[in-house]
Amino acid sequence: MTDSTYWWKLAGKAFGVGVLLFLIAPIIAIIPLSFNTSSILTYPLEGFSLKWYAKFFADPRWWTAIKNSLIVGVATVGIATPLGTLAALGLSMTGFRGKSFIIAGFMSPMVVPTVITAVGIYFLFSRLGLANSLSGLVLAHTALAAPFVVITVSASLSQLDRVLLRASASLGAGGLTTFWRVTMPLIMPGIVSGAIFAFTTSFDEVVVAILLTGPEQRTLPRELLSGTRENLDPTVMAVATLLITLSVILLLVFTALQQRSSRLVDKDQ
Amino acid sequence: MAIAAASPIVRLSGVSKNYGIYKAIDRIDLDIVPGEFITFLGPSGSGKTTTLMMLAGFETPSEGAIEMDGRRIERLPAHKRNIGVVFQNYALFPHMSVRENLAFPLNVRRVPTAEIRSRVDAALAMVHLDGLAERKPVQLSGGQQQRVALARAIIFKPRLIVLDEPLGALDKNLREHLQAELKSLHRDLGTTMVFVTHDQSEALTLSDRVAVFNKGRIEQIDTPEALYERPATPFVASFIGENNMLPGNIETRNGDEVAIRFAGGGLLQARSQASCKPGDEIILSIRPENIRRASAGAGQHVSATIIDIVYLGDQRRILVEADGIGRLVFKTGAAGEKPITQGERIDIELSAGTCRVLPKQ
Ligand SMILES: Nc1ncnc2c1ncn2[C@@H]1O[C@H](COP(=O)(O)OP(=O)(O)O)[C@@H](O)[C@H]1O
Ligand SMILES: [Mg+2]
């Protein structure tokens, strides 16, 4: 009996490790290739070199792409975060008419395939003269990113003890003071998580970017994609490695925030 | 305390609160006198919290008026009422230190920084928490958190302090300790306090007056002594202390002397100030401590059979079946009295002056 449980446990662990490998192997495989001396993307590696990184840093095309991506990403965060936070606050209020409609509307960009959203945005923005402009891309990314902010902030709000808001009012604080001094600090982990998600949503986004940007507004994912299609060389791998590093850092920040917020919540035990 | 003389700080007139078709509060009238410690006592769900929340401004009455210092406040938002609230689960801001929690109401009122500092220190000293100012609420015990909550509610010198079962979550020893502190705090500050509890002994110990809540109504408002000795309704009689409740009918009335006939055929004499006439169905209430084993001669004697005896250490609790009247509980001292056994026949004494006639509800 104990013997078979042992084997089942081992099998479970092995399966878990297998799934994990399946998920991260492609990502890990890229990293060594970016340091390879050979320009052909194959294993085994021929030798260690940083020349692809040098090539990347020397190429103005990449710099423009990075600059565009950062501008769009930061602007998206700047708009989607307050917008999503306010929406979550409104939605956290007890039932009002049409609440589920509004939720569905907000969440639709997450559910509808991006291509469809992208095509819709493309037709609309062409008419409005927003196609081929960074501001158009920012608006489109905001629509895609805001639902993530709504979700993370709503999660924080559901953890928020409403009695604290009453306590604040009883101490003489009006609605705005209560928001700045009580609500906001307590849902900050949710807001920051939402901002991180909003940034990565924009920073990764390629479908809308392809439809909505001209040569001037090429973003990093778009440049990466054309890089792999046209002249596949390890520079692309170097860029990918840098992006992975950035993602890992953001993920760590996110995890740290989650832990901090759960520490504040576990109060009266 | 001259309760009747002072004009009320808060007056509730005909206040009701409906949730849908459910009447959580049903036409309450209540005057709160400046400086008093008044307690809302009642079972869970009787409407104590709802009434307190209407006072504090977190619920709006469906009907009726709430006045504070003569001004209508039932539509005034909570943050403009200047009422300190102590919540059951403390409701301290978890992201602020103790000092920041206490400074919060003063910051909101734009008190100068230096003054805030000294007032926070004074408030902390008052609740015996000196030295814990820089801690976060998570780093405090339940009792300490409740003290901070109390300090935060008094630091801005509110017109009134309301406390919703503030000691409910604490263990017995700590609760008694904090009761004493609360009482002395009330004496020192002189601020009017409205306290909510479902614990009758807590209500009796702390309060100048107690309002007994039942099913959304106030059954009686009185001093602890009056509530205990002169309950006005069967609910109050049974909720506060132990009481024998015997349903019967008025047989004759002569001044305030009444004779009561019970279903079993027995007859008892009692006194009644309440308006009742022969034929009325009533409840007779007798405290266990007002029943004794009969000594020869004087008083109203009834024969009874002993059903059960419970040993309580310093006392014995005796359950008897009184002939023609019903079951009664009384207590005897454990030592120095004639030993009694189950099944034994005894005589008990029920003096007419301690039997109270209550209207049947
Ligand atoms: N927001 C609400 N919606 C519906 N019913 C409520 C609400 N708040 C309180 N009640 C009901 O009103 C009654 C009184 O509640 P409450 O004032 O909390 O009682 P207490 O504090 O005496 O235990 C209860 O029956 C409760 O279920
Ligand atoms: Mg309650």
Mean pLDDT of A126-151: 89
A28 residue type, one letter: I
Residue recorded with tokens 């009330």: B186
Ligand 1 proximity of B99 Cβ (cutoff 6 Å): no
> Per-residue confidence at A198, pLDDT binned at 50, 70, 90?
very high
Q: How far apart are the first and last CA of chain B?
A: 32
pLDDT tens digits for range B169-208: 788 888 898 899 999 999 999 999 999 999 999 999 999 9
Q: What's the whole-model pTM score?
A: 0.81
Least Cα separation, residue A253 to chain B (angstroms): 19
**Mean per-residue pLDDT over chain B, rounded:** 90
β-strand pairing of B160-164 with B22-32: unpaired
Answer whether A182's CB lies under 8 Å from A164's CB: yes
Residues from chain A that touch B108, judged by Cβ atoms under 8 A, are 171-173, 177
Ligand 1 proximity of B46 Cβ (cutoff 6 Å): yes
Ligand 2 center–CA A112 separation, angstroms: 46
Mean pLDDT of B220-235: 92
Given a cut of 50, is residue B1 above it in pLDDT?
no
Mean pLDDT of B20-43: 95
Ligand 1 proximity of B44 Cβ (cutoff 6 Å): yes
Alpha carbons B154 and B160: distance in angstroms, whole number: 9
Measured between CA atoms, the residue of chain B closest to residue A165 is B91
**CA diameter of chain A:** 71
Q: Given an 8 Å threshold on Cβ–Cβ distance, is A174 in contact with B93?
A: no
Ligand 2 center–CA B50 separation, angstroms: 7
Answer whether A113's CB lies under 8 Å from A86's CB: no
| pLDDT for the residue B269 | 87
B142 touches chain A (CB under 8 A): yes
**Pairs of CB atoms within 8 A across A/B:** 76
| pLDDT for the residue B170 | 83
Q: Given an 8 Å threshold on Cβ–Cβ distance, is A170 in contact with B84?
A: yes
Ligand 1 proximity of B197 Cβ (cutoff 6 Å): no
Q: Given an 8 Å threshold on Cβ–Cβ distance, is B91 in contact with A161?
A: yes
Least Cα separation, residue B245 to chain A (angstroms): 41
Alpha carbons A159 and B23: distance in angstroms, whole number: 31
Alpha carbons A159 and A150: distance in angstroms, whole number: 14
- Best probe residue, ligand 1, of B50, B165, B212, B219 (max atoms within 8 Å of C-beta): B50
Answer whether B46's CB lies under 8 Å from B215's CB: yes
> Per-residue confidence at A264, pLDDT binned at 50, 70, 90?
low
| pLDDT for the residue B336 | 58
Ligand 1 proximity of B118 Cβ (cutoff 6 Å): no
The torsion angles phi and psi of A74, rounded to 5 degrees, stand at -65, -40
Residue recorded with tokens 């009747």: B4
Alpha carbons B193 and B155: distance in angstroms, whole number: 14
Q: Given an 8 Å threshold on Cβ–Cβ distance, is B105 in contact with A172?
A: yes
Rg, chain B, Cα only = 25
DSSP per-residue letters across chain A: -HHHHHHHHHHHHHHHHHHHHHHHHHHHHHHHHTTBSSSS--SSP--B--HHHHHHHH-HHHHHHHHHHHHHHHHHHHHHHHHHHHHHHHHHSS--TTHHHHHHHHHHHHHS-HHHHHHHHHHHHHHHT-TTSHHHHHHHHHHHHHHHHHHHHHHHHHHS-HHHHHHHHHTT--HHHHIIIIIHHHHHHHHHHHHHHHHHHHHH--HHHHHH--GGG--HHHHHHHHHHSS--THHHHHHHHHHHHHHHHHHHHHHHHHHHHHHH----
A111 touches chain B (CB under 8 A): no
Alpha carbons B48 and A168: distance in angstroms, whole number: 21
Answer whether A165's CB lies under 8 Å from A182's CB: yes
pLDDT tens digits for range B135-174: 999 999 989 999 999 999 999 999 999 999 998 878 888 8
> Per-residue confidence at B78, pLDDT binned at 50, 70, 90?
very high
Region for B342 from its dihedrals, namely left if φ exceeds 0, alpha if ψ lies in -120 to 50, beta otherwise: beta
Ligand 2 center–CA B96 separation, angstroms: 27
Measured between CA atoms, the residue of chain A closest to residue B91 is A164
The torsion angles phi and psi of B30, rounded to 5 degrees, stand at -160, 130
pLDDT tens digits for range A27-36: 888 888 888 8
Atom of ligand 1 nearest to the CA of B213: 22
Ligand 1 proximity of B221 Cβ (cutoff 6 Å): no
In the numeric block, which tokens belong to residue A218? 């090429």
| pLDDT for the residue B77 | 95
| pLDDT for the residue A74 | 95
Alpha carbons A234 and A51: distance in angstroms, whole number: 9
What ipTM does the predicted assembly reach?
0.83
Ligand 2 center–CA A239 separation, angstroms: 61
Ligand 1 proximity of B231 Cβ (cutoff 6 Å): no
**Mean per-residue pLDDT over chain A, rounded:** 86
Q: Return the SS3 of B31.
A: strand
| pLDDT for the residue B337 | 65
β-strand pairing of B291-293 with B326-333: unpaired
CA distances for B202 relative to B151, B182, B184, angstroms: 21, 11, 15
Ligand 1 center–CA B59 separation, angstroms: 11
Of B357, B343, B183, residue with least CA distance to B257: B357
